[in-house]
Structure 1
Amino acid sequence: VGMGKKSEIKLDKELTVEEQLEKAEASAKKLRAKIKKNMKGKDDATLQEISKGLPKVDKYAMKCRRTLRGHLAKIYGCQWAGNAPHLASVSQDGRLLVWNALTTLKLKAYQISCSWTMTCGFAPSGNFVACGGLDNICTIYAATADSTNPTAELQGHDGYISCCRFIDDRQVLTTSGDSECFLWDIETKKNTTTFKGHSSDAMSVSIAPDNNTFVTGGCDNTCILWDIKSGEMINCFEGHTDDVNSVKFLPSGTAFGSGSDDSTCRLFDIRANSELLSLEEPNEVTCNSVTFSLSGRLMFSSYSDPVIRVWDSLKGTKVASLKGHSQHVSCLDMSHDGTALASGCWDNAIKVWA
């Protein structure tokens, strides 16, 4: 309007609603690419230029300190409680386990009706655990109770549950193969807010430290930043060329990392609305999971191979490779105090690194 050209998005009455939406999305994608091209080169400086004078990270000597064995099949998800050393994990064996990672003892074992469980979450308080998978249900359990029966079963998604993360003991966020993200009230078992923006499966969610925003990654190759209270999309981050499998906020809350099937893990700044860093593995392996050290200086990424990579998130260089698993490393999570990294693998084992 007033720019000499009309919008490229025009609806054709002869097209179906789905075709019109596809046409509008394609046009919007072109416009975003045009904006990105115009913005390129206008940054004050790159991350590498700013960090040039900083000292390098010394050789990183993280070792495997514990191996947790108890699952009988591939592990798909793991997450620490806020009160480490408690850790939750889910596996293709149809069990959700709660561990004391320090002693390697299993504290709880929940038998899940859906064997294809894809994700688990641990409330920051340590009071509740959640899991979800191909049954389209997010199931909540009381981790501190004697009973292993579900506290709540949250039903409403039309696709598999790909990720679940607690905001607190009363609310949990889920992403799904139906492309949507739900905010649930656990007590009422109701979906209070639906977040729509992805055009394909929503695969991962990470909540900002202030609990006001969260980011999701999806099979439409994008990451979306959301406002929890309003339910509105704040921004859409592009750059990946394949499915985004994992997203994770830095502890500072000013940026987030992402991992994708395009063999890259990336760093996005939410204040500048831009990509800061792209780290690529040349071996054509898919990046399954990303997480950060407590300072945010180190970025950990796992792939469809047995090796965990450790990156300097400021300089964009590889600091170390953590070796110990024998198969595809599916999930990573750093403890809240930053003292231990947990990794889950298709070799049925969880390793704790420190």
Structure 2
Amino acid sequence: KLSPVFSRVSPAPLSASSSFLFCGLQSGETLASLKKESDSLKKKLEEERGKLNDIELHQVAEKVEMLGALSIKTKRLLKGHGNKVLCMDWCKDKRRLVSSSQDGKVIVWDAFTLNKEHGVTLPCTWVMACAYAPSGCAVACGGLDNKCSVFPLSLDKNENLSAKKKAVAMHTNYVSGCTFTNSDMQLLTSSGDGTCALWDVESGQLLQSFHGHTADVLSLDLAPSETGNTFVSGGSDKKANVWDMRSGQNIQSFESHESDINCVKYYPSGDAFASASDDSTCRFYDLRADREVAVYQKDSVIFGASTVDFSLSGRLLFAGYNDYTINVWDVLKGTRVSVLFGHENRVSRVRVSPDGTALCSASWDNTLRIWA
């Protein structure tokens, strides 16, 4: 029913020079009237969605047992960066991790011994994104240089990794996030230019681009299935979009936050995802129900949420905030079960290790902490 209206509205950004857009307007139509029509259709969609909302998640979970007291403490403190740590990612071997910082460095750590196994200095500071390849043999990173580069890792600690750097992705604005797909051969990136893109690592060719956000894309996450063909992205336009990697189409969209979405993360089953926003809430969306099913908030939590991740079972949601804390939420009941203190500045990233036994947090206090 909706397609005839939307097919007349070009998704291209508006500018004074967009004269081609006005050729598509039919008589009696103006941009203002189309916007009004689109807003009323959105409202109707929300009403139709609302009719299907029979019960809230916390009501379904009333009979579920309460969680016992959590005892999560800092077990390791990783020091070595000279400025804000902006991103980190675990290796599939559950032992190594990579971190990137505003000091322009990317460091590969052994989380057991705290040894720094590799260090790379990039030509630009603010390395905002980093990711470990599934094989553990390479890392990717990107930031304010608008590029995403891949470094192969070798057993030779003295090898000059910078010489082997390969620029894979090129955006027209900063790179805010990157992740490998289920192989080392493809890289998915999100950018301040409002797009996400899929790249071939070997040739650096653009395989697919994803247009649908109207402002900076700040985060992305790949669906956790083996045949992961979908991913979710969140951005400054307050939208979380789900994409089909094969067609490049935006297949689902959620817009309930009141401010920028800083982070999106899939639920372990792949049927849902969580988002963290500057509006100081985290939200939980069920893809099958096509709606938001829970909001994690408290009156005492007034700072923006910058990052989220789930425990391995999916029962806990770890959320890092700008007030230097990590709040632990009960996903089903919507209550806060613990607060982790330790960082001395904004928490920029939390990631649960692949085996679920530890949590790593990166912070603007120049350190990373491993909690267990």
Same fold (TM over 0.5): yes
- 1:155 Cα deviation (Å)? 4.1
Aligned 1:56-71 pairs, distance under 5 A:
56-71=66-81
**1:120-168 per-position Cα deviation (integer Å, ceiling 9, x unaligned):** 1111221111111111000111123634124410243111000001112
Quickly say closer, same or farther: Cα 1:25–1:76, change in 2 above 3 A.
farther
What is the CA–CA distance in structure 1 between the aligned matches of 2:68 and 2:46, rounded to whole Å?
Answer: 35
Instruction: Answer yes or no: is the 8 Å Cα contact 1:86–1:100 preserved in 2.
Output: yes
- 1:336 Cα deviation (Å)? 1.0
Secondary structure (helix, strand or coil) at the match of 1:206 reads strand
Secondary structure (helix, strand or coil) at the match of 1:55 reads coil
Aligned 1:103-252 pairs, distance under 5 A:
103-144=113-154, 146-149=159-162, 150-167=164-181, 168-210=183-225, 211-252=228-269
Q: State the one-letter code of the partner of 2:179.
A: R
**1:254-309 per-position Cα deviation (integer Å, ceiling 9, x unaligned):** 10010011111110011111101111243421110000000111000011111100
Q: 1:337 maps to what in 2? A: 355
What is the CA–CA distance in structure 2 between the aligned matches of 1:148 and 1:234, rounded to whole Å?
Answer: 39
**1:209-239 per-position Cα deviation (integer Å, ceiling 9, x unaligned):** 1211100001110000011112111111111
- 1:330 Cα deviation (Å)? 0.9
Instruction: Answer yes or no: is the 8 Å Cα contact 2:56–2:294 preserved in 1.
Output: no
- 1:28 Cα deviation (Å)? 3.2
- 1:31 Cα deviation (Å)? 2.1
Q: 1:302 maps to what in 2? A: 320
Q: Which runs of 5+ in 2 are unaligned?
A: 11-15, 25-30
Task: Please report the TM-score for the alignment, with normalisation by the length of structure 1.
Answer: 0.93
What is the CA–CA distance in structure 1 between the aligned matches of 2:77 and 2:268, rounded to whole Å?
Answer: 26
Instruction: Answer yes or no: is the 8 Å Cα contact 2:169–2:199 preserved in 1.
Output: no
Q: 2:57 maps to what in 1? A: 47
Q: State the one-letter code of the partner of 2:48.
A: N
Instruction: Answer yes or no: is the 8 Å Cα contact 2:168–2:200 preserved in 1.
Output: no
Equivalent residue for 1:287, pick from 305, 315, 318: 305
Aligned 1:243-262 pairs, distance under 5 A:
243-262=260-279
Instruction: Answer yes or no: is the 8 Å Cα contact 1:8–1:27 preserved in 2.
Output: no
What is the CA–CA distance in structure 2 between the aligned matches of 1:233 and 1:8, rounded to whole Å?
Answer: 14
What is the CA–CA distance in structure 2 between the aligned matches of 1:45 and 1:118, rounded to whole Å?
Answer: 39
Q: State the one-letter code of the partner of 1:148.
A: L
What is the CA–CA distance in structure 2 between the aligned matches of 1:353 and 1:144, rounded to whole Å?
Answer: 28
Q: State the one-letter code of the partner of 1:341.
A: L
RMSD: 2.2
Secondary structure (helix, strand or coil) at the match of 2:307 reads strand
Secondary structure (helix, strand or coil) at the match of 2:288 reads coil
Q: Which runs of 5+ in 1 are unaligned?
A: none
